Chain A
């Protein structure tokens, strides 16, 4: 019966929304703040319908804090926290996770160190205990350290084959030559080789603390059950993290075009310029504007011009990329070498058209209808809800954000969009990186460093993925995955997510 209450409330809201002609409000997800006796806070959405619990958490401060000669440190810690802790060595620790079907994993973005725990309700206490020792007493034994080091090297080598990855890295290197955002999260072979067990211990001790910790919990658990688990899991962490020394970033290389030669039939193009940070008063206006320009898939101008009218690309897109220390608007396209110039010219033209003329009334109506109506689709699994709860805390959006969010979109006017387009979209400042052999496109500046060598970004230190096996009869979709168009350069901001800047790439 507990479930009936929010569902009826949601139904009433939907009806009211329809009657008033307003947006369909997001259904009533009830977000509760749980504070443990020891003062540790978590945001909780109870869902007793399935006997599982999903926990996501993040510590502020990520790979951007890696020492310059030890790039890859945060990622390496993320690969090792579940490789032995307390009195359990790697083998024993992993075996216990596997035997209880507990999913525990960590990751690092430029801005955050992130963790996820998913468990069946029946194994709840064991799962939280495993998390507890992982974050408070990781071992960093020699065997797993060397194994994960080698996995990171294999992943670097594999990623270096991927032109999307190379383009994203080169773009970040070009615009952030003097800021940590320009460095590879995954490190380089040289920096990975330098990381010692002492570095790993130091990171865990300095970065995993109570004052930079954000927690989201979803599933079959009550506040009364959760509160003591928060203390037993995180209570032993130090009160304060070391000072976050990363400063705000200034974009360089504005308006440059960088070509990185690679013998492939299709060039991969990444572009971008300064955008808005998450707390910018124009954030929602920029969000609506980007949907119309290049965020809205088949409803976007870029897709219409580049793909639908001319068949130049399978994928063309733009997205807001709000990092902690820089706001960006990024985009990309992949097209045969002979058509790169035409595609770039079209993108520039659309950039200029939006800057000059803004949006139409019809585009405004359609954009808002999609952005408000689709919001609930992001909250359809426990993992997605937990991720959203953490993102809301990262961005200081407040416990009632889910209820307010659609009104924030609705409040954006055409004038707001026109103004923000003029403010942000400067075609002369757009920086392009092309990996491939584009015809008629030349570099305006030398590539910032070699685009080829093993580098970094998107994924955590997962097991190097063996080549796609054949038994899944190769799916081929009509278009790129809706939520994952972007070879996100460095941070992990989701392409078109307005609440979820960092949790995952």
Chain B
């Protein structure tokens, strides 16, 4: 059924695609840096005379102070509320009047703003982005209604969805100390205490050219782009940016379990997350092998978990494996399954445990490795089809402390992964004491 996932052509699918550096290919970008520290990446794609412009700030929800969850995301909303020269609510209208589309997103590690426009409107976009990098103007009469908008967003994304509620509980359990345990959108009781002063303080602490990356992909060259960037971003002053020091995760000694029962649930779910290395934290030597392992376990309809749990044993209707190494701190390697109708979640867990035990006992085969590599390398070619995917891959890498080469050399690194590395990585990561198991169950009406 994996082929049918193609039809999930939503933004979510694009995001998932983009969020897997597994998709990186050889984009051959050009890079340069302004004197004020702004890093610039240019990816040429001349299919149509349009460009994607993205400004990434190296700050996210994991950089918030305790008690201020949701502040990075709240500020993201407020960045559309005007500057000294752009009136409140005008930013997006100006982009639209110029045939462009704009939006933004926030994660634990970064905040990004983007516009898709005809190449002859790029000048305007860069001017507006440089302006709001330094001249944001906030007043309570636009800030306070927006806080209600964010609370509605939380209701839509989280409180109306038991799966999302379980994800929040799991994150808070998976990490003992890292701020990844807090939700990006924030806890509601803390969102309501955010206001203009806190947003300004966060903005003035973190938003500056030396804490940002500009990625432009599309019908443009670095030679064409550079004068525009220098003109608009060049005069933006540097700031002293506080170092990104976060609480570190201690060793874990106990496996954890979260069970959420909710009357709204009709389809139970089973999930297990293991703490796993990222490019920058933990045993980073395993990240490429773990991407291959992700593919072998759950990458497609021929994968181990799909064959075992869905086709052969028929305990699950769907399975997934998910790993994302592009993060500042420790990541997770996550396995999940939807039970077949009428099958108890316990049976799914037993079957999953058996597959994991088999993997740890006998390892993967050369044939599985070769097939997984072939699949992963094809994704690199497919990724070149989309300029927004390219822009996202470079933005994510650079905003989390990585390099352009981390993206560009990905196919070579995947090609070099060995059976022994995959088996070692599996043994290092798939330990129950490093895991949290989450179960979503119906709550029978009382």
A interface residues (Cβ-Cβ under 8 A, vs B): 3, 7, 10-11, 14, 18, 24, 27, 29, 47, 49-52, 78-79, 82-83, 90-91, 94-95, 97-99, 101, 103-107, 116, 118, 120, 143, 147-148, 150-151, 153-155, 157-158, 160-163, 262-266, 268, 296-299, 304, 307-315, 334-336, 366, 369-370, 372-377, 379-383, 454, 459-479, 481-484, 504-505
Could you tell me if B89 and A298 are in contact, using CB atoms closer than 8 angstroms? yes
Could you tell me if B49 and A14 are in contact, using CB atoms closer than 8 angstroms? yes
Could you tell me if A94 and B301 are in contact, using CB atoms closer than 8 angstroms? yes
The chain A residue sitting closest to B70, CB to CB, is A476
Would A147 and B324 be within 8 Å (CB), given that A105-B6, A379-B48 are in contact? no
Instruction: Specify which chain A residues have a CB less than 8 angstroms from the CB of B61 in the assembled complex.
Output: 473
Q: Identify which of A163, A263, A297, A382 contacts B92 (C-beta below 8 A).
A: A297
Could you tell me if B334 and A471 are in contact, using CB atoms closer than 8 angstroms? yes
Instruction: Specify which chain B residues have a CB less than 8 angstroms from the CB of A11 in the assembled complex.
Output: 49
A240–B347 Cα distance when bound, in Å, is 48
Q: Quick check: is B58 within 8 A (CB to CB) of the other chain?
A: no
Could you tell me if B267 and A154 are in contact, using CB atoms closer than 8 angstroms? yes
A478–B157 Cα distance when bound, in Å, is 12
Instruction: Specify which chain B residues have a CB less than 8 angstroms from the CB of A14 in the assembled complex.
Output: 49, 118, 120
Would A369 and B47 be within 8 Å (CB), given that A314-B152, A471-B322 are in contact? no
Q: Quick check: is B46 within 8 A (CB to CB) of the other chain?
A: yes
Could you tell me if B107 and A299 are in contact, using CB atoms closer than 8 angstroms? no
The chain A residue sitting closest to B294, CB to CB, is A471
Would A265 and B159 be within 8 Å (CB), given that A99-B374, A161-B264, A297-B96 are in contact? yes
Could you tell me if A473 and B311 are in contact, using CB atoms closer than 8 angstroms? no
Q: Indicate with 1 or 0, residue by residue over B362-400, a CB within 8 angstroms of chain A CB atoms.
A: 000000000100110011011011111000000000000
The chain B residue sitting closest to A299, CB to CB, is B96
Q: Identify which of B108, B318, B381 contacts A154 (C-beta below 8 A).
A: B318
Shortest CB–CB separation between residue B390 and chain A, in angstroms? 11
Q: Identify which of B15, B103, B265 contacts A478 (C-beta below 8 A).
A: B103
Could you tell me if A264 and B264 are in contact, using CB atoms closer than 8 angstroms? yes
A selection of 17 A-B contacts at a CB cut-off of 8 Å is: A11-B49, A24-B99, A91-B311, A151-B1, A264-B264, A297-B92, A335-B152, A373-B98, A463-B317, A465-B320, A466-B319, A467-B167, A471-B276, A471-B331, A477-B105, A481-B12, A482-B103
Instruction: Specify which chain A residues have a CB less than 8 angstroms from the CB of B146 in the assembled complex.
Output: 311
Could you tell me if B336 and A469 are in contact, using CB atoms closer than 8 angstroms? yes
A-B contact count (CB 8 A): 352
Instruction: Specify which chain B residues have a CB less than 8 angstroms from the CB of A464 in the assembled complex.
Output: 267, 317-318, 338
Interface size on B, residues (CB 8 A): 125
Instruction: Specify which chain A residues have a CB less than 8 angstroms from the CB of B334 in the assembled complex.
Output: 469-471
Q: Quick check: is B199 within 8 A (CB to CB) of the other chain?
A: no
Would A466 and B336 be within 8 Å (CB), given that A297-B92, A369-B99 are in contact? yes
For the complex of A and B, list the 9 residue pairs with the smallest distance between their C-beta atoms, beginning with the closest: A373-B99, A311-B148, A101-B378, A466-B336, A311-B145, A481-B11, A154-B317, A463-B318, A266-B155
A298–B93 Cα distance when bound, in Å, is 7
Docked complex: B1-53 residues within 8 A CB-CB of A: 1-12, 15-16, 19, 46-50
Docked complex: B132-150 residues within 8 A CB-CB of A: 144-150
The interface stretch among B180-188, B205-213, B229-237, B353-361 is B180-188
Could you tell me if B4 and A462 are in contact, using CB atoms closer than 8 angstroms? yes
Could you tell me if B152 and A370 are in contact, using CB atoms closer than 8 angstroms? no
Could you tell me if A381 and B386 are in contact, using CB atoms closer than 8 angstroms? yes
Could you tell me if B149 and A373 are in contact, using CB atoms closer than 8 angstroms? no
Would A153 and B341 be within 8 Å (CB), given that A14-B120, A298-B96, A504-B9 are in contact? yes
The interface stretch among B72-80, B246-254, B402-410 is B72-80
Instruction: Specify which chain B residues have a CB less than 8 angstroms from the CB of A299 in the assembled complex.
Output: 92-93, 96-97
A296–B101 Cα distance when bound, in Å, is 10
Instruction: Specify which chain A residues have a CB less than 8 angstroms from the CB of B56 in the assembled complex.
Output: none
Instruction: Specify which chain B residues have a CB less than 8 angstroms from the CB of A79 in the assembled complex.
Output: 1, 4
Instruction: Specify which chain B residues have a CB less than 8 angstroms from the CB of A311 in the assembled complex.
Output: 144-149, 152
Shortest CB–CB separation between residue B318 and chain A, in angstroms? 4
Could you tell me if B148 and A474 are in contact, using CB atoms closer than 8 angstroms? no
Could you tell me if A482 and B317 are in contact, using CB atoms closer than 8 angstroms? no
Would A98 and B301 be within 8 Å (CB), given that A311-B147, A313-B149, A483-B11 are in contact? yes
Could you tell me if A98 and B99 are in contact, using CB atoms closer than 8 angstroms? no
A83–B301 Cα distance when bound, in Å, is 10
Instruction: Specify which chain A residues have a CB less than 8 angstroms from the CB of B62 in the assembled complex.
Output: 473
Instruction: Specify which chain B residues have a CB less than 8 angstroms from the CB of A466 in the assembled complex.
Output: 269-271, 318-320, 336-338
Would A263 and B7 be within 8 Å (CB), given that A462-B1, A473-B184 are in contact? no
Instruction: Specify which chain B residues have a CB less than 8 angstroms from the CB of A101 in the assembled complex.
Output: 374-375, 378-379
Q: Identify which of B3, B8, B156, B317 contacts A82 (C-beta below 8 A).
A: B3
Docked complex: B259-296 residues within 8 A CB-CB of A: 263-267, 269-271, 273, 276
Shortest CB–CB separation between residue B387 and chain A, in angstroms? 6
Could you tell me if A380 and B338 are in contact, using CB atoms closer than 8 angstroms? no
Could you tell me if B271 and A94 are in contact, using CB atoms closer than 8 angstroms? no
Q: Identify which of B77, B264, B327 contacts A473 (C-beta below 8 A).
A: B327
Could you tell me if A471 and B93 are in contact, using CB atoms closer than 8 angstroms? no
The chain A residue sitting closest to B72, CB to CB, is A476
Q: Identify which of B47, B101, B144, B174 contacts A470 (C-beta below 8 A).
A: B174
